Amino acid sequence: RFDIISDYLAAMKQVIDKHEKITYIGIQGLTNLANLLKKYPEVIPKLEVYQMGGAIDFELRPGWVEHNIALDVESARYVLESGVDISLVGAQTTFNPNLVVGNNHRIYRKLLESTDPVYQDLVTHIKLYNKAKGYWPRMHDPLTVAAALGDFVDFYESGIVIDKEGKMSLGDGSIKISNPKSQDKEFMNFLYKRMFN
């Protein structure tokens, strides 16, 4: 027995032990996953990780490091060097104008028309995000989930070198990296249909 709040790693391990394979979807920093792999390295062969994060040969401005990597660079490095089966859905793919849901996008307009309180919460979230960030949200995380389900994102294999600040470049190895020529328009059509049909 354990307290799930104080021992989340044991809770994760308990779930993993019940299955032959586990798909792990990361949409934040890699701290929790790194801690899991350090404490229970025997789970590495059972995990298939899809991580929203990283930026390969891509930067928004000089010195920019993608948010989920910048949160905990050491954990990101540990996971990437652990040998776990990992696919990165990186900023080179997700920072794409076709993945933006702004106030003129048909998803936003459809949410706005609805009286459903969940949809109204999404409208509020989109507005608050825009106010806080100064730009409209991109569908980074939904695209990562879609990639884990086996659709809409193409990958190629390479290694990654990650410096102490978290900047990434190609190197030797076999990490799967998202290709920026993903099927973004088809994905947004899919997302619209799943949300409203």
Digit-coded pLDDT (tens) for 140-190: 999 999 999 988 999 999 989 999 999 999 988 788 999 987 788 899 999
Digit-coded pLDDT (tens) for 9-38: 999 999 999 999 999 999 999 999 999 999
- What SS3 class is residue 11? helix
Torsion over CA: 183, 186, 192, 194 (sign): negative
Give the pTM: 0.91
Return the higher-pLDDT residue of 181 and 94. 94
| Distance (Å, whole) CA 26 – CA 34 | 11
- Residue 28 in contact with residue 4, Cβ under 8 Å? no
Average pLDDT over residues 92-106: 95
- What SS3 class is residue 36? helix
Digit-coded pLDDT (tens) for 168-177: 999 887 889 9
Band of residue 3 on the pLDDT scale cut at 50, 70, 90:
low
Helical H segments across the chain, by residue range: 8-17, 31-39, 67-70, 73-81, 91-94, 106-113, 117-133, 140-148, 184-196
Residue in 90, 112, 48, 84 with CA at minimum distance from that of residue 179: 90
Class of residue 12 by CB neighbours under 10 A (exposed 0-12, middle 13-18, buried 19+) = buried
